[in-house]
Amino acid sequence: MPRIACLHTIESNVPVFDAALRASGLVGVELHHVVRADLLADAERAGGLTPDIAARAADALRALCAGADAVLLTCSTLGPAAAMAAEGALVPVLRVDAALAAEAVRQGGTVVVLCAVETTVEPTRRLFETAARATGARVVVQVVPDAWDAFKAGQRDRYLEMIARAAGEALRAGATCVALAQASMAGASDLLPVGQRPLNSPLVGLVAAAAASDPGSGGRE
């Protein structure tokens, strides 16, 4: 049974990934969750990912390699730390939004990437623009105004409604694809009609991690 260790920075992302696993069709996959809220809090105070915070995140990811078949970093702000941790690791270490970026740019066109928190904008932009080189997609990264304040105030329904509204507006403005950069945003997809739902990272990230952990295991039903 493939075991995927997830490093979160928000406690509420634990049930988000459990739900994504149930929805994924993956079988025989077990998730192990660790939450390090201090890493995101420090990045917010610093105005972004610093070398020290990245190194601490990489250490936390390496520690999760023991007893796991793959390690998944679910915080987009800390994303670059996954590449640091992957060097010399005995199991795959992935950032959850890498698979999201690859899927979002696959058809080219204009890809609008929605973020809720400012600290994730630059890591997200670099990731998506790198993926877009292979397909010629145009990447536009946008912050949903006031969404993170709503999240931190515990107003989850309002948070998701704001994101869903922004996704719908992007599609009406001509976006080929809309992607939700942060795992905490995933629930906004369910507020839109099926044909208008944006891509979210928990689902595609778990599928990618299961495939990386053991291509012969964790198949989909």
- pLDDT averaged per 10 residues, the chain (length 221): 94 96 93 98 95 98 96 95 94 95 96 95 95 97 97 96 98 96 94 94 94 64 45
Give the pLDDT confidence score for residue 216 in this predicted structure.
52
Name the token pair of 40. Answer: 């995101």
Give the pLDDT confidence score for residue 172 in this predicted structure.
96
End-to-end CA distance of the chain: 15
- Angle at the Cα of 66 (from 60 to 71), degrees rounded to 5? 60
Name the token pair of 188. Answer: 């906004």
Give the pLDDT confidence score for residue 217 in this predicted structure.
46
Listed in sequence order, the residues at least 6 apart from 67 whose beta carbon sits closer than 8 Å to its beta carbon are: 3, 5, 32
Say whether domain 98-200 belongs to CATH 3.40.50.1860.
yes
d(CA 71, CA 4): 6
Give the pLDDT confidence score for residue 219 in this predicted structure.
47
Q: Give the architecture-level CATH label for domain 3-96+203-213.
A: 3-Layer(aba) Sandwich (3.40)
d(CA 210, CA 189): 22
Q: What's CA 131's distance to the chain center, in Å?
A: 15
Give the pLDDT confidence score for residue 215 in this predicted structure.
54
What residues does CATH 3.40.50.1860 cover in the chain?
A: 3-96+203-213, 98-200
